[in-house]
Amino acid sequence: DAGITQSPRHKVTETGTPVTLRCHQTENHRYMYWYRQDPGHGLRLIHYSYGVKDTDKGEVSDGYSVSRSKTEDFLLTLESATSSQTSVYFCAISEGIIPGEQYFGPGTRLTVT
Amino acid sequence: AQRVTQPEKLLSVFKGAPVELKCNYSYSGSPELFWYVQYSRQRLQLLLRHISRESIKGFTADLNKGETSFHLKKPFAQEEDSAMYYCALMRYGGSQGNLIFGKGTKLSVKP
């Protein structure tokens, strides 16, 4: 499982509430990613990180922010959750030798009511 | 624009039948393509990458630049192949490259 964990695994929250999802890795990989998975849309990249404090936006970054203060942790924050952010969120890591070769976490199912 | 298209949302075959999961891409440079698979209640995992030209679990995929395709094939489907399959394209640009995923094809192998 490439030493990737996500927390929480399930969360139900109300519209307008801030939410933070955590991705933790034990592999010391440089690259980390956050995706959301929605029926009919596949996986879409939200944000990614290419090092501590180095992050960049993906294709669906609006409404999300990220932080990476240490190699092993990559946090995804929804500042004010909306129902459209109900989704399954996956974290992934890559050592970067082959950037397209990514290892995924187990996912977090987020429901915004 | 870079894009990955998987035209079939659902593909249903019988055990022992050949399987072909279609993937077409749009990319101006030299493409790097991957197939990922997600079995029920499991995490997404890498199945194949075109640069290695390997066969994993009996699956192969050949990059056809003329047809801009990277179809996934298996000669004899097994029930345990039932899963969600995603084709992905590596896009380089900005601070670092990232993957563009297709919308996925759900493969159902019936006994």
Check CB contact under 8 Å for A100 and B99: yes
Average pLDDT over every residue of A81-86:
96
Report the alpha-carbon distance of residue B57 to residue A58 in Å, rounded: 32
Cα distance between residue A43 and residue A26, in whole Å: 24
Average pLDDT over residues B65-90: 95
| Residues of chain A with C-beta less than 8 angstroms from the C-beta of B106 | none
Position B17 scores a pLDDT of 97
Domain ranges of chain A: 4-108
Query: Which of B70, B71, B107, B74 shows the shortest CA–CA distance to B90?
Result: B70
Percent of chain B at pLDDT exceeding 90: 70
The stretch A30-54 carries a mean pLDDT of: 93
Q: How confident is the model at residue A100 (pLDDT cuts 50, 70, 90)?
A: confident
Query: Which candidate, B42, B97, B64, places its Cα nearest to that of A100?
Result: B97
| Interchain CB contact of A62 with B (< 8 Å) | no
Q: Could you read off the pLDDT of B23-48 as tens digits, one per residue?
A: 999 988 888 999 999 999 889 999 99
| Alpha-carbon distance values, B12 to A81, A97, A110, B38 (Å) | 37, 36, 30, 16
Predicted pLDDT of residue A98: 74
List domains and CATH numbers for chain B.
3-110 (2.60.40.10)
How many other CB atoms sit within 10 Å of the CB of residue A79?
Answer: 12
Distance from the Cα of B70 to chain A's closest Cα (Å) equals: 15
**Has domain A4-108 been given CATH number 2.60.40.10?**
yes
Contact B81, B90 (CB under 8 A): no
Q: Report CB contact under 8 Å: A43, B45.
A: no
What is the C-alpha radius of gyration for chain B, rounded to an integer number of angstroms?
Answer: 14
Contact yes or no for B99 and A50 at CB 8 A: no
Task: Report residue A43 as tokens.
Answer: 């996986």
- Chain B closest CA to A19's CA: distance in Å? 22
Alpha-carbon separation of residue A56 from A19, B4, B62 (angstroms): 20, 22, 32
| Structural contact between residues B35 and B88, judged by C-beta atoms closer than 8 angstroms | yes
- Give the nearest chain A residue to B105 (CA atoms): A42
DSSP state letter for B51: G
Candidates A35, A40, A99; nearest CB to B90? A99
Distance from CA of A33 to the nearest CA of B (A): 9
Q: Distance between CA atoms of B9 and B3, rounded to whole angstroms?
A: 16
Is the omega angle on the peptide bond into residue B75 within 30 degrees of 0, that is, cis?
A: no
A107 interaction partners in chain B (CB closer than 8 Å): 43
C-alpha count within 13 angstroms, C-beta hemisphere, residue B12: 2
Residue A82 pLDDT > 80: yes
Which chain B residues are Cβ-neighbours of A98 within 8 angstroms? 49, 51
Higher pLDDT, A60 or B1: A60
Mind telling me how many Å the CA of B106 is from chain A's nearest CA? 11
CB A68 within 8 A of CB A56: no
